[in-house]
Amino acid sequence: MKLSTTALVAVLLSTAAVSAAPTQITAEKIDTNSLVKKSDINDVMALIEQLGQNNQKRALIEDEAQLLELATRDQSLLAQLITALLNSGLIGDIWKILTTDQQLKSLVVGMVKSAIKGAIAQGPALIQAVWQSGLLQTIFKDIFQNGELRPLLFSAAKAIFSSGLNLLKAFLAMRNGGSTGTTPAPSTGSGAAAKRELDTDASDNVIRLFDLSQLGDDDFIDKRDMLAVAQQVYTAIKNTGLVQGLVQKALADPQASISLLTNVLKKGWVLGTDVYNWANQSGILQSGLKWLGANGATYASDVAQFLGNQIAQGKASVSDIDNAQPISGGTTTPTAAAAAPAASGYKQRRNY
């Protein structure tokens, strides 16, 4: 995706401060349009209950054909559960709560490693998760030091900026004008509202005050109570033994994997160096860089910042970008920040 230099400068100046430090999402930062009907939560809980019943049936079945049929049904139900969690806007909070559960850390990290090394997770989702977790510059450093991957980074930059000179102009404009950017003020919520920010103890306190049975199916759940609801849903998922299956299914889902990987990276369960090594081995890093070149407007400030610094330090040159080969095989897909609701099929709520 190529933009004019003027347009890129405007984008970079307006997003430089924000992209460097992704905003932590709390209940107070949820848009009022993200209110969820109780019926949406009922759909989630019904799927969890059905999957739990299937787990109980599995222990009583010996016939292999029946076990295979049940496993196939479970995969369909897990896919429906992923969709229901996305539609309800709960999925980001589910992953947040999951990454506070130290009992499951080794399991989740092992599954993430297998998904990245086995190319189950997809390059575009990985790039978006790395960016949302604030680790893109770290990954760029590793990529730049790799002689095979460095040309792909130059190619992505050329696809975004058209030329090395345009990138350098944008970098200088961003650096010189960065001090004029406005950094969003941190939340200053107080009292009961402030206590709703995700925290295990605080979340438990809220749950005791919140009862879903008080609402009708057509009633909406207040945005401040969504974290409490998410805790209840997560507890149901864990108690029915669905965590492993849900994580595995999410990692293979282009949309759900973004929020899951973002939270795992933000929590520090997986390091940027680990992601680079695993993704480089599987080849999804290469596909991610190609995707970056085709969908780079959202990430232009990061690309300009990194390569602009390399040029300023004499480690790269404008001609490296000018002479880069065109991106081939890049797939244009909506980014997490810019995807339209109609295109994704999901209600656009706080999914990370």
How do residues 299-340 score in pLDDT, each as one tens digit?
Answer: 999 999 999 999 999 999 999 999 999 987 544 443 333 333
Helix axes 300-312, 164-177, angle to 10 degrees: 100
Task: Say if 348 falls within a structural domain.
Answer: no
Q: What's the confidence (pLDDT) of residue 103?
A: 93
d(CA 325, CA 279): 22
pLDDT band with cut points at 50, 70 and 90 for residue 176: confident
Contacting residues for 312 by C-beta, under 8 A, at least 6 apart: 171
Number of structural domains in the chain: 1
pLDDT band with cut points at 50, 70 and 90 for residue 205: very low
Among the listed ranges 31-35, 111-115, 270-274, 345-349, which one has the minimum average pLDDT value?
345-349
The parent domain of residue 251 ranges over: 5-22+36-177+198-337
Task: Say if 30 falls within a structural domain.
Answer: no
8 A C-beta contact, residue 332 and residue 294: yes
Q: What is the mean pLDDT of the chain?
A: 77
Task: Say if 118 falls within a structural domain.
Answer: yes
Task: Say if 352 falls within a structural domain.
Answer: no
Residue 97 has pLDDT above 60, yes or no: yes
State mean pLDDT over 53-67. Answer: 87
8 A C-beta contact, residue 12 and residue 170: yes
For residue 183, with 0-12 CB atoms within 10 Å meaning exposed, 13-18 middle and 19 or more buried, which class applies?
A: exposed
Task: Say if 79 falls within a structural domain.
Answer: yes
Q: Which of 180, 235, 176 is CA-nearest to residue 203?
A: 235
Task: Say if 332 falls within a structural domain.
Answer: yes
